[in-house]
Structure 1
Amino acid sequence: MSVLLVEDDVSIAIVITAALEAEGFAVTHCQTIAERDRLLGERGFDALVTDVMLPDGNGIETIDRARVLHPLMPIIILSAQNTLDTAVRASDTGAFEYFPKPFDIDELARTVRQAAGAGKELLPDGDEPLGDGLPLVGRSVAMQSVFRMITRVLRNDLTVLILGESGTGKELVAEAVHNLGHRRAGPFIAVNTAAIPADLIESELFGHEKGAFTGAVARHVGKFEQASGGTLFLDEIGDMPMQAQTRLLRALQSGTVRRVGGREEVRLDVRIIAATNKDLEPEIAAGRFREDLYYRLNVVPIHMPPLRERRDDIEVLARHFLQLAAGEGLPRRQLSVEAGQLLARQPWRGNVRELKNVIYRLALLAREDMIDAESVQALLSPDAATAATGDDLSGGGESAAIGQGGIADAVSRWLAAERPASGTIYEAAVAAFERPLFSEVLRETGGNQLRAAQALGINRNTLRKRLSELALDPEEFTRRS
């Protein structure tokens, strides 16, 4: 089998060629679009592997010329421009796969073999080109997997479950799937299932008929029907009441809904995207979430990484939020390199939402057009001190305060000292409380994680993950015992 490799970086081309030749491919290498078109005009190849930025043009924008010559040839795109826009444009070409740089060379070789042996026609490009202004920002490795998963669900109606901590941008992912997909002409209806009273959630989702209950003075069309032809985004799905979960499962299974108090079955034409900040497996074990609904929703999981796992994106996000702030009437500011580096070292327990709030405050309060590290330090001084010392509520002073004056007094003192950003207080408080709580339980169990997880009532994997995030070593408690 033969592969045409279009890559102007010779060192990368050598590595790719060696990997493909080890898989039994005959590799022809060129460095420009003009050479690519000449070679494709002379003979056929089993697969094309091409970079995006080439000396004489854009590899994505000129894919159509290669398609004319060989419409069935699978194409794999490589790019150092690791943005969602690039991933989406690569997907819009009907490319077999998209690899952001740096990539796993063995995975690339396996993908090329799979593509070359597929022997089927790729989807034609029938969509108009998409512009800039996409909502998700980030070039980190953690975000690349998110971008790739988004591109894989744009041309189908598979149910998507977005998982991640509060403030990571789960709704932005849902909006991206809708706005970039084939349902973008339809409505996008977002529902926070945790914010609707339990006795009203069925009416809100499925609608009700006149007279169905006291106060139902007219027919009400529910969110499922409102989203017809588009996307229904069910946020905080982990907090949905059990009775509503049963109705939702029935709707997903049958493809129909029945309004409360009604007899007519309404056929659904909607894509479902759900999101939660909860680990649903412990919820299932505790009987608070239906296991069969979980598997109905978890067809395509997309994991949104917390900001601490994508520190390379923090400075980029900060500059992005400064632009958004200026567009909303706040003073136009710039960020110094030192300020960006300081922001990147913060814990950001409230994730992207907390970062955005801080940047907006900096845009409002900064005295100079250039925001420097001193300005950032002044605004984040309590958080910066916490990050520098590694102390939360587990510090000696606060732990003693809890023992002397009770939890209520300790919380009051912690709020006064930390001053978490609005909208992040809950997440920050939970993170601060978890460290001393986990330390005490591990101390009681002699570092035994299984017994600690059972005592806490959480999944062992969840405990292990949180211990890693909180930098708690169970072995320390084993040695102490």
Structure 2
Amino acid sequence: MPKRVLLVEDDASIALVITAALEAEGFEVDQCDSVAGRDRFLAGTQYRLLLTDVMLADGDGIDTLGPVCAAHPGMPIIILSAQNTLDTAVRASDTGAFEYFPKPFDLEELVRTVTQAIGKAEASEPDLPQDVPQGLPLVGRSAAMQAVYRMITRVLRNDLTVLILGESGTGKELVAEAIHQLGNRRAGPFIAVNTAAIPAELIESELFGHEKGAFTGAVARSIGKFEQASGGTLFLDEIGDMPMQAQTRLLRALQSGRIRRVGGRDEISLDCRIVAATNRDLMPMIAAGTFREDLYYRLAVVPIELPPLRDRVDDIDALSRHFLAKAAAEGLPRRNLTAAASALLSQQPWRGNVRELRNFIYRLALLAREEVIDTSAIEPLLNAGDAASVVRPSDDTGHDAHDLASAIGMWLDEHTPPSGEVYDAVLAAVERPLFLRVLSQTAGNQLRAAQVLGINRNTLRKRLQDLRITPDEITSV
């Protein structure tokens, strides 16, 4: 049978380029620009491959593929789309498409993929059930994020262990949640554990559970995270900070597929997918003997590396508007950005990545005086600098909040508080009125207030105790 391909593309220039490239490699190409045209061609001709755009004049190129897949189960499908979102990538994968190419794409890679697809002649994979949740908080259409989306779609129908790599604040847990919620185990639990936050002497008990009397204080049997995640996904965050002894037990569990509770005799079969993450560079740790090489290769069956925000600058505008909408949905004032404000945000380094941008946007949503945010509202927050250098009394109008909110957030989490009179001055002149104002705006919600201030919730709770701020004070502001 000739290597005949059907191309469905409504952009004439793109269709011309793809057709010329495929014909140069010996393919016969029929071309149309609509769902109706596609169906007419498929009804009268047998094709080795379908190459289709998504947004067509008379329909969605993905949503209308059901009858095509049923009638041509052995025909590979390649999806092209300018709608470069995770939802589009997942929908493409759900059809059993051989590959998904976000526009703009590498033409040579596209031709190689067409050749590979026809050579393998693989039947379409079965569809995922149609209860896939929407609205996952993964935002961005940059080339860097498209690579992440494509990796996510490739692990949805299997239980291969995934290792997510990336700097702090890049969204590693969000990717883990997406893999779980879109994958075969989404009906089961998603159990996340930060291995860096568990004391070394307790980590084995937390992961594997313990029997009554296994150690001092073990007054009852405890079910560990592995068992809690049965039927679902276990997310091991900050895996690079796991103690060596716990690494050894984790490796043994992954190799055998069985665990034993601390102090127990019976082995328990594992039934969960493992997704791990770290912001550490594990290879130097392996060389230094602080991370097991065999555990690394057991975890990194499928590595997914998340780009820092500086490598996806094109996404900053979409992320900023997403966080403004989210802040409004959580009760903060509804805001919008001017083009100049968005451009200014895109020029910032955001060393804390998406997490830092999110915290900044929440502060901006609370503290901006106008509904439409311009550069004049952003610049004071960006230029606030270290809190110790901007301490000054705040009047009842809260006008100094613009200058202090960002600085307070960074300063509290990144500095050891000064002692004596200087610290007392900070507490009296800055923290108390600012915290009261933010808590009033967030209706006393400490989690939301901590997000606005850009600090840890535990840090906020301790400060409230130190400042003796009561609920009555908050409601009266």
TM superposition score category, shorter chain reference: 0.7 to 0.9
Equivalent of residue 80 in structure 2, options 78, 81, 85: 78
Task: State how far apart, in whole Å, the 1-side matches of 2:192 and 2:200 are.
Answer: 17
Task: State how far apart, in whole Å, the 1-side matches of 2:271 and 2:141 are.
Answer: 34
Equivalenced residues, count: 396
Percentage identity across aligned positions?
Answer: 71
Residue in structure 2 matched with residue 176 of structure 1 by the alignment: 178
Residue in structure 2 matched with residue 311 of structure 1 by the alignment: 313
Counterpart residue type for residue 174 of structure 2: L
Residue in structure 2 matched with residue 190 of structure 1 by the alignment: 192
Task: State how far apart, in whole Å, the 2-side matches of 1:31 and 1:44 are.
Answer: 18
Query: Is 1:219 aligned to residue 206 of structure 2?
Result: no
CA offsets, 1:203-235, max 9 Å, x none? 000001111111111111100000000000000
Query: Is 1:8 aligned to residue 7 of structure 2?
Result: no
Residue in structure 1 matched with residue 302 of structure 2 by the alignment: 300
Aligned-residue offset at 1:124: 2.0
Counterpart residue type for residue 336 of structure 1: T
Equivalent of residue 419 in structure 1, options 397, 407, 426: 407
Aligned-residue offset at 1:344: 0.2
- Go from structure 1 to structure 2 and tell me whether the alpha carbon gap of 1:269 and 1:248 turns closer, same or farther (over 3 Å shift): same
Task: State how far apart, in whole Å, the 1-side matches of 2:99 and 2:232 are.
Answer: 26
Residue in structure 2 matched with residue 436 of structure 1 by the alignment: none
Aligned-residue offset at 1:304: 0.6
Task: State how far apart, in whole Å, the 1-side matches of 2:359 and 2:277 are.
Answer: 22
Counterpart residue type for residue 311 of structure 1: V
Residue in structure 2 matched with residue 144 of structure 1 by the alignment: 146
Residue in structure 2 matched with residue 203 of structure 1 by the alignment: 205
Equivalent of residue 363 in structure 2, options 337, 361, 364: 361
Counterpart residue type for residue 300 of structure 1: V
- Go from structure 1 to structure 2 and tell me whether the alpha carbon gap of 1:420 and 1:119 turns closer, same or farther (over 3 Å shift): farther
Any gaps of 5 or more consecutive residues in structure 1?
386-415, 428-481
Task: State how far apart, in whole Å, the 1-side matches of 2:414 and 2:194 are.
Answer: 17
CA offsets, 1:326-378, max 9 Å, x none? 11110111111110000000000000000001100010001110111110111
Residue in structure 2 matched with residue 51 of structure 1 by the alignment: 53
Aligned-residue offset at 1:71: 1.6
Query: Quick check: 1:189–1:223 contact (8 Å CA) kept in 2?
Result: yes
Aligned-residue offset at 1:82: 0.4
Any gaps of 5 or more consecutive residues in structure 2?
387-403, 416-477
Aligned-residue offset at 1:68: 2.9
Query: Quick check: 2:163–2:304 contact (8 Å CA) kept in 1?
Result: yes
Aligned-residue offset at 1:18: 1.5
Query: Quick check: 2:132–2:181 contact (8 Å CA) kept in 1?
Result: no
Query: Quick check: 2:237–2:278 contact (8 Å CA) kept in 1?
Result: yes
Aligned-residue offset at 1:423: 9.5
Query: Quick check: 2:100–2:150 contact (8 Å CA) kept in 1?
Result: yes
Q: Which runs of 4+ in 1 moved over 6 A?
A: none
Equivalent of residue 66 in structure 2, options 39, 64, 67: 64
Q: Matched residue of 1:294: which SS?
A: helix
CA RMSD of aligned residues (A): 1.8
Equivalent of residue 326 in structure 2, options 324, 327, 341: 324
Residue in structure 1 matched with residue 474 of structure 2 by the alignment: none
Aligned-residue offset at 1:67: 1.5
TM-score by length of 2: 0.81
Aligned-residue offset at 1:106: 0.7
Task: State how far apart, in whole Å, the 1-side matches of 2:231 and 2:339 are.
Answer: 46
Aligned-residue offset at 1:193: 0.2
Counterpart residue type for residue 124 of structure 2: L
Equivalent of residue 372 in structure 1, options 357, 371, 374: 374
- Go from structure 1 to structure 2 and tell me whether the alpha carbon gap of 1:142 and 1:126 turns closer, same or farther (over 3 Å shift): closer
Task: State how far apart, in whole Å, the 2-side matches of 1:224 and 1:231 are.
Answer: 9
TM-score by length of 1: 0.80
